[in-house]
């Protein structure tokens, strides 16, 4: 019995050894770029410094282009052409599996998704003039539909590592806080309306560079701001400079209009903070420019 046990043990060790040698001798299969699927790590601007509620949600869609590093981005003929990626529990997938190819590439992404794309260098885009209500784009409101986000990743090649798509804002934002003046009698109502006047809502976007430019022939109009809290309002504005003094911010409260006229420079990727003091006399409007936040979260 003892000899049989020893014999079995030796036999087993021999089999294990042969199996190990067989695995070690097996050559590694080289990575085939055309068989390597793309995966994506998408980061909303709000995720870069903290976790907030202003993150991508299930069903959100971004547009993706992937083009050779030594070739200009085109509407068609790239490795990936305006492919829609949809968010599902933090994972971003296309309607098909997207595979790499040999060589190095740049990835370009934007939000919200638009189809069809009519131009790479001068893609038309407009912010909503009603940013309080639904926009009609996948159920998002007019504010979110106006907040054009952009991401670019350079020098990529076939890999199982996800493509990093870190988004940034390319529009401008104005945040207005209503403050009760010393001579304002009673409590301020929480149902005020805030409007941004005299800005052009249309722009052209360079998808290769990630730059929005005010449409030179656009008509100035009025934007209704989104109410974020009782006395806080915000709006997305196309980057532009208002060089001549004209109506800029209007607050309507209890049927009374409080109008502020000024010049202003709406900078790209910048949140402009404004304190708007409500006094008893609507002709004595006071504001305080509270500062700027670059590439707001």
How many C-beta atoms lie closer than 10 Å to residue 272's C-beta?
Answer: 21
Judged on CB neighbours under 10 Å (0-12, 13-18, 19+), 213 is: middle
Q: Which two tokens stand for residue 276?
A: 């708007």
| DSSP-assigned letter for residue 171 | S
Assign 109 to helix, strand or coil. Answer: strand
Per-residue pLDDT of the chain (297 residues), as tens digits, is: 333 433 333 333 343 444 443 444 544 444 699 999 999 999 999 875 444 445 899 999 999 999 999 999 999 999 999 999 999 998 999 999 999 999 999 999 999 999 999 999 999 999 999 999 887 676 789 999 999 999 999 999 999 999 999 999 999 999 999 999 998 989 999 999 999 999 999 999 999 999 999 999 999 999 999 999 999 999 999 999 999 999 999 999 999 999 999 999 999 999 999 999 999 899 888 888 888 998 887
pTM of the entire predicted model: 0.86
Q: What is the DSSP string of 6-74?
A: HHHHHHHHHHHHHHHHHHHHSPPPPP-GGG-B--EEEE-GGGTTS--S-S--TT-EEEEEEEETTS---
Q: Which two tokens stand for residue 119?
A: 């131009």
- CA–CA gap between residue 104 and residue 68 (Å, rounded): 6
**Integer CA distances (angstroms), 41 to 38, 44, 51, 99, in order:** 10, 10, 16, 16
């Amino acid at each position: 019995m003892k000899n049989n046990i020893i014999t079995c043990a030796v036999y087993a060790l021999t089999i294990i050894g042969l199996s190990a040698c067989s695995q070690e001798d097996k050559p590694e299969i080289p990575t085939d770029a055309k068989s390597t699927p793309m995966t994506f790590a998408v980061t909303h601007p709000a995720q870069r410094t903290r976790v907030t509620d202003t993150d991508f949600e299930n069903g959100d869609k971004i547009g993706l282009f992937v083009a050779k590093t030594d070739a200009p981005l085109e509407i068609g003929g790239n490795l990936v052409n305006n492919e829609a990626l949809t968010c599902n529990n933090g994972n971003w997938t296309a309607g098909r599996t997207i595979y790499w190819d040999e060589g190095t590439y740049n990835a370009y992404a934007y939000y919200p998704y638009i189809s069809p794309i009519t131009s790479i260098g001068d893609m038309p885009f407009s912010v909503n003039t009603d940013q309080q209500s639904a926009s009609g784009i996948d159920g998002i409101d007019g504010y979110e539909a106006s907040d054009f986000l952009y991401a670019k990743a350079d020098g990529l090649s076939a890999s199982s590592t996800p493509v990093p798509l870190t988004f940034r804002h390319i529009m401008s934002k104005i945040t207005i806080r209503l403050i009760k003046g010393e001579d304002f009698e009673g409590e301020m109502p929480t149902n005020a309306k805030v409007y941004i006047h005299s800005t052009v809502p249309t722009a052209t976007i360079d998808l290769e560079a990630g730059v929005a430019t005010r449409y030179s022939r656009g008509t100035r109009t009025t934007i209704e701001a989104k109410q974020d809290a009782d006395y806080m309002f915000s709006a997305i504005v196309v980057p532009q400079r208002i060089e001549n003094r004209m109506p800029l911010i209007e607050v309507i409260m209890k049927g009374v209009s409080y109008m502020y006229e000024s010049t202003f420079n709406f900078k790209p990727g910048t949140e402009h903070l404004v304190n708007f003091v409500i006094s008893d006399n609507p002709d004595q409007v006071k504001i305080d420019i509270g500062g700027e936040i670059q590439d707001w979260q």
